[in-house]
Structure 1
Amino acid sequence: MTLDAVVAGNRFLHYLALMLLFGSSVFLWRLAVPGLRLTIDRRLDSALRTAAALAVLTTLAGLPLQAAEIVGNWQAAVDIHLLQKVLRIDIGQTWALRMLLALLLMTLALVRRPGRPGSVAIGSGLLLASLALTGHAAMDQGLRDFLHAANHVAHLLCGGAWLGSLLPFLLCLRLLADPLARGDAAVTLRRFSNAGHFAVAGVLLSGVANALLVLGRWPTDWSSPYQLLLSLKILLTVAMVAMAVVNRYVFVPRMRNDSPSAIAAIRRYTLMEIGLGVAVLALVAVFGMLEPG
């Protein structure tokens, strides 16, 4: 396996873990009805703790992999003197800050009480937002640098809130079959539907702004690997939006007359939405390593 493939894989797992943590925690904290919050939280507990551990491990791996990328060989990843030099430059200092945030997140995930996801939502949100300190968003200077970073933070948080909340959404959907939980589940799903409009709009608007800030134009030169992969990301995101719209405006109204088949359709489309979202993260993990142009 090549160094670039390992770096891209580490980036992908890092994005996936953080978005699951942030979106699921926000869903539980701000959208789930209190009577339902504990039930869903218990079912997600193992997944969220695993995601927190993965976030720490992938952050930890970032420094040696960065050193190996700079030098261009695997030996640099275990060269203590080189790692110390990298820690003295901006890349290393950013990694140190993110490592502290990752350890804070792990601590919050371990000590949190069931049904109290607020601290993990904040901790994962901070670590997710700190990705704006790296990559293309950190290449500008002055006011443009601030605006680019702020826009990237919005893109990351909206994307995490959207994609990461789809797993607890599926669990909540299943609870509609439980007579004792049906009322709370219906209220929670309505809250999710309303909040989802803002998250999706935020992803689209900040995504367009990101493309313009990085390239200065729309990515139409497909001879450029960066622009080709960015265009694929845009297409997959549009497909995700289309599925979300169909779920909300086609299948949700049908739940009044044909609830079982409508719920089954919503579940299928949501699973496809998750699959597309994972593919988007894989593309981002790759083209985020490429030079724009």
Structure 2
Amino acid sequence: MIAPETGLALCRLLFSAAAIVLYGAGCFFAFLAPLRLGREISAAAGAGIRIAGVVSFAASLSWLPVEAAVIGGGWPSAIDGPTLSALAFHTMIGTAWMVRVGLALLAAALFIARPRAGRGQAMIAAALLASLALSGHAEMNEGARRTLHILNDGLHLLAGGFWLGSLIMLPACLARLRDPVLGGEARTALRRFSQAGHVAVALVIATGIVNSALILGRWPDDPSSPYQSLLDVKIILVLAMTGLAVLNRYYFVPRLKTWHERAVAGIRTGTLVEIALGAGVLALVAVFGLIDPSG
């Protein structure tokens, strides 16, 4: 049987991945994809989006019992009524859990009913993803510093979630660039993503620097610290994603008209590698989010 700490990391990973899919899909359909393209892609991706809705709710529901097992030192605490009650109703962990479960239930219902999300669904998915900031390292702080940390962490999550979540929709968009009906709309969606991506990448980097300053007070330069070592790996992966995004935007996109097949292949390959690197980032965050930064 896995340790409760491993179970909690898995809960965090599954929840964040599912919430990012919902948020990315919501933003892509509501703000990036023109109407016909959105309908076409949502029909193809509908099953995956519905699964993400179910996973987000299941992971959020499981979070509190697994957290109780971690605090209680073993899995029996996950079904101990007094422990669960005290955790749910008398701690910030419980408050964050109740908010998350409510948002996950609403998001799952909305996305299952209509995978092609409108702006309302995108906003619910944004709140769901940002709720992760309520139970992060911001809890180490108090007063205005804690509020600043939560807001910055939430912005970091939303910027990164837009970047990675919209990337997941991009291959389907690329596949329709030569479609005689949808090609123009696919180019429009690609252009909109490229423009919004500049802002998202800049915000990820800026808020990441602020988060490091709020948690550590300095650059993570201590290789003996497990937290700082994993944070350094995350920074390397994010920089690699940034490099691929720049390559796609400024090398391959301008060549779509004159070098179409190779340019599309280059963008698709870069996008898939970015998604893989983003999955690595999520796995790292799921782990080091549970580690004491002072250790």
TM score, norm. by length of structure 2: 0.96
Q: 2:159 — aligned with what? A: 158
Name the aligned partner's letter for residue 97 of structure 2. W
Taking the aligned partners of 2:118 and 2:46, their CA distance within structure 1 comes to 10
Taking the aligned partners of 1:80 and 1:116, their CA distance within structure 2 comes to 38
Q: Deviations over 1:169-226 (max 9, x none)?
A: 1110100121211111111111111011001111010011001111000000010000
**Alpha carbons 1:98, 1:127 under 8 Å: kept:** yes
Q: 2:190 — aligned with what? A: 189
Deviation at 1:116, TM superposition (A): 4.1
**What is the correspondence of 1:30-179 to structure 2 with a 5 Å cutoff?**
30-90=31-91, 91-112=93-114, 115-179=116-180
Name the aligned partner's letter for residue 211 of structure 1. S
Taking the aligned partners of 2:54 and 2:95, their CA distance within structure 1 comes to 22
**Alpha carbons 1:17, 1:55 under 8 Å: kept:** yes
Name the aligned partner's letter for residue 103 of structure 1. L
Name the aligned partner's letter for residue 52 of structure 1. G
Matched, 1:2 2:23: no
Taking the aligned partners of 1:143 and 1:116, their CA distance within structure 2 comes to 35
**Alpha carbons 1:108, 1:123 under 8 Å: kept:** no
Taking the aligned partners of 1:228 and 1:89, their CA distance within structure 2 comes to 34
Name the aligned partner's letter for residue 89 of structure 1. H
Deviation at 1:267, TM superposition (A): 0.4
Q: How many residues align?
A: 292
**Alpha carbons 2:26, 2:116 under 8 Å: kept:** no
Taking the aligned partners of 1:152 and 1:116, their CA distance within structure 2 comes to 25
Deviation at 1:252, TM superposition (A): 1.0
Taking the aligned partners of 2:200 and 2:148, their CA distance within structure 1 comes to 19
Q: Deviations over 1:148-182 (max 9, x none)?
A: 11101100000110000012111101001212111
Taking the aligned partners of 2:28 and 2:95, their CA distance within structure 1 comes to 32
Q: Deviations over 1:263-288 (max 9, x none)?
A: 00110111000000000000000000
**Alpha carbons 2:15, 2:60 under 8 Å: kept:** yes
Name the aligned partner's letter for residue 92 of structure 1. G
**What is the correspondence of 1:182-261 to structure 2 with a 5 Å cutoff?**
182-261=183-262
Distance 1:56 1:255, change over 3 A: same
Name the aligned partner's letter for residue 152 of structure 1. D
Deviation at 1:2, TM superposition (A): 2.1
**Alpha carbons 1:233, 1:283 under 8 Å: kept:** yes
Taking the aligned partners of 1:190 and 1:109, their CA distance within structure 2 comes to 26
Taking the aligned partners of 2:138 and 2:145, their CA distance within structure 1 comes to 10
TM score, norm. by length of structure 1: 0.97
Deviation at 1:67, TM superposition (A): 0.4
**Alpha carbons 2:244, 2:274 under 8 Å: kept:** yes
**Alpha carbons 2:46, 2:116 under 8 Å: kept:** no
Q: 2:12 — aligned with what? A: 11
Mind listing any 5+ residue stretches in structure 1 that lack a counterpart?
none
4+ aligned runs moved over 6 Å, structure 1? none
Taking the aligned partners of 1:94 and 1:254, their CA distance within structure 2 comes to 47
Name the aligned partner's letter for residue 90 of structure 2. I
Deviation at 1:37, TM superposition (A): 1.3
**RMSD (Å), alpha carbons:** 1.1
Taking the aligned partners of 1:4 and 1:116, their CA distance within structure 2 comes to 34
Deviation at 1:81, TM superposition (A): 2.1
Deviation at 1:111, TM superposition (A): 2.9
Taking the aligned partners of 2:206 and 2:284, their CA distance within structure 1 comes to 19
Distance 1:217 1:7, change over 3 A: same
Name the aligned partner's letter for residue 154 of structure 1. L
